[in-house]
Amino acid sequence: MTTHFRLVFTTCANASEARAMAEQLVQQKLAACVSILPNVESVYMWEGEVTHATECKLLIKTKSEKMNQVIQTIKKLHSYEIPEIQVVDVSTGNLAYFNWMDEVLN
């Protein structure tokens, strides 16, 4: 079974930014659901130095045809100069959940 759904990952600096972004995406019907994972520790290179940060990870559930709008909304609302935006194709899963997503996102 091939689907037209996508899972988008991003991180936010704090819970209030994560909640605001999640609410915007759901209110605008760009995401059926956004799960927020608080207190994710990230280790990365920034400006030549190893950096440690506590962030919130967002798992954004959407449809492929909404991807451009999702990406633009994340960039617009994000506080980071270069926000993480990674997209994963959803190949299979719970058909009832996908039906619910179709209903919510139409």
pLDDT digits (tens, 9 = 90+) for 39-96: 999 999 999 999 999 999 999 999 999 999 999 999 999 999 999 999 999 999 999 9
Nearest to 7, CA basis, from 56, 64, 55, 57? 64
Domains: count for the chain = 1
Locate 106 and state its tokens: 């139409």
CA 34/CA 23 separation, integer angstroms: 8
63: which strand partners? 5
* CATH number of the structural domain spanning residue 26: 3.30.70.120
Task: Write out the residue range of the structural domain in which residue 20 sits.
Answer: 5-105
Per-residue confidence (pLDDT) for residue 56, from 0 to 100? 98
> For residue 45, what is the DSSP state?
E
| Confidence check: pLDDT of 30 > 90 | yes
Rg (CA), the chain: 14
